[in-house]
Amino acid sequence: MEISEVDITLYGYTEDGLFGVLTYWVEPDGSQVFVSDFSDGYAWVTYSADGTITTETTLAPGTLEARTAAMASGFTYSTHPLEAGWLGCALGITLTAAALAAANPWGLGAGIAAACACVPLLSKEFEDIECPGF
């Protein structure tokens, strides 16, 4: 995982090497962006502040969901576990990307949970944010 001042990038590996890359950031207008990149295609999912979901992908149906689920399971079983706070963020990012790509109604909740988990880690301005129910 790499964390910058503006985004979080998760790397998924298998025994053969790099499996996929998932990047998350929040646009100035409040839109959440999830970009997944794999050797055979990509997906760009935007969850806008008004609730609109936009997906652009070159992956076959169901592929993004399966791959992000595989990446999420790797975070919980890693030999190098994520620090407290980052696990929730990483899982939130992967699950939101999968739910939004599948047009799953749980995508909204997953997106809110991801934002609540990740935004305080990205910006000291929001480190005391409290998200009800999460």
pLDDT tens, residue by residue, 82-111: 444 555 566 566 666 666 555 555 555 556
pTM for the predicted model, two decimal places: 0.57
- What one-letter code names the amino acid at 20? G
pLDDT exceeds 60 at position 4: yes
Gap between the Cα atoms of 74 and 79, Å rounded: 9
Residue position matching structure tokens 């149906």: 61
